[in-house]
Amino acid sequence: MQFHFETYRIECTHPFGISRSSHDYYDIVYVYLEHDGLLGRGEAAPSGRYNESTDRILSQLQTGIDIPDSMEDPLVFSNQISSQCDNVKSLEVAFSMATLDLWCQMHQEPLYKYFNADPNNTPLTSYTISIGKMDLIPQKVQEATPYQIIKVKLGVDIDHDKSIIQEIRKETDKIIRVDANEGWDLETGLEMTHWLADQNIEFIEQPFKSTNLSDTAQLRSKSPLPIIADENSLNSADIPQIEGVFDGINIKLMKCGSLFEAIKMVNMARERDMQIMLGCMIESSVAITAAAHISPLVDYADLDGNLLIKNDPYRGVAIENGKLILPSSNGIGTTLKETNSNLQ
């Protein structure tokens, strides 16, 4: 079993702004597992919100990761590697992706089949309009034309947030999902949920800081719109704590640490009758396609990270009328674009 890794800088088409930060680019790390002429790919897109960085990942990789010689069980194999990742979840999930990509190629099946997901049952993905210059909103709405649902980043202040929605509504009446990224207080949340209810909004994601569950519970009891957890929904251990506080969860591979953990979160949320969204960071097609393979198992998808960058080095999941179309090839099903031959 051979192991390689490469860094790569993905460049945003527009500065990607949320309530607490804005970025023109993100540095990511690809990991590769190679065996008998087959190549498994994984992607780590670290988040500073969770004390992760490319430097921290590289330090861990350069210190040395002991890769088992053989793979009898992909879960056991993945766990053996993740235990060496210093709790960096984005690195753990990169190895989880590469492991399952390689395993499914070895067993000649697409990843969705491994998880018993129906490729014909994929959801629509939303397309994100992030916080930025107001005069760019018409252009961003135009760029979202192929997608039936728009996700809007809010959380600056109440006047700014209302203005963003009003500007978008001048351009389109499409369904909007709102993400405040912990940017509101209770007073703002109470006013915004009722104001947004008249704007064809589907749900509101993470209105308050993750430490503020009491205000979230109070908001949910009065909100006409569903409230979805993001920063409060890192992994399966969080779900019992937020049951009854949120209407649903957002699962992100970069936060939960493996595809196996993502499936565990799906099952736990289903048991509690919670809605499930599958989300992402700004990522390339390796990570987005891996997530897309389990999208038939959830209610909503926000898998547009690869659509918001201008130098995606891979091809993978496709979009038709906003719907995710999974690759039918073995494994995750990504291919390298010829212009990026330095990668694998």
Q: pLDDT tens digits for 265-294?
A: 999 999 999 999 999 999 999 999 999 999
List, for residues 28-87, the tens digit of each pLDDT value. 999 999 999 999 999 999 999 899 999 999 999 998 899 999 999 999 999 999 999 999
Q: What angle do CA 261, 221, 192 make, to 5 degrees?
A: 90
H or E element at residue 271: helix 259-271
Residue 66 lies in a domain: yes
**Single-letter amino acid, residue 42:** G
Give the domain-ending residue among 63, 84, 108: 108
Q: How confident is the model at residue 22 (pLDDT cuts 50, 70, 90)?
A: confident
Q: Could you tell me the residue range of the domain that residue 54 belongs to?
A: 2-108
Give the domain-ending residue among 108, 139, 157: 108
Specify the residue for token string 């190895």: 95
Give the domain-ending residue among 53, 77, 108: 108
Coil, strand or helix at 130: coil
Q: How confident is the model at residue 17 (pLDDT cuts 50, 70, 90)?
A: confident
Same domain for 286 and 204: yes
List, for residues 190-219, the tens digit of each pLDDT value. 999 999 999 999 999 999 999 999 999 999
List, for residues 172-190, the tens digit of each pLDDT value. 999 999 999 999 999 999 9
**Single-letter amino acid, residue 177:** R
Residue 344 lies in a domain: no
Q: What angle do CA 270, 271, 272 make, to 5 degrees?
A: 90
Share of the chain above pLDDT 90, in %: 93
Distance CA 300, CA 14 (A): 24
| Number of structural domains the chain divides into | 2
Residue 117 reports pLDDT greater than 90: yes
CATH of the domain at 318: 3.20.20.120
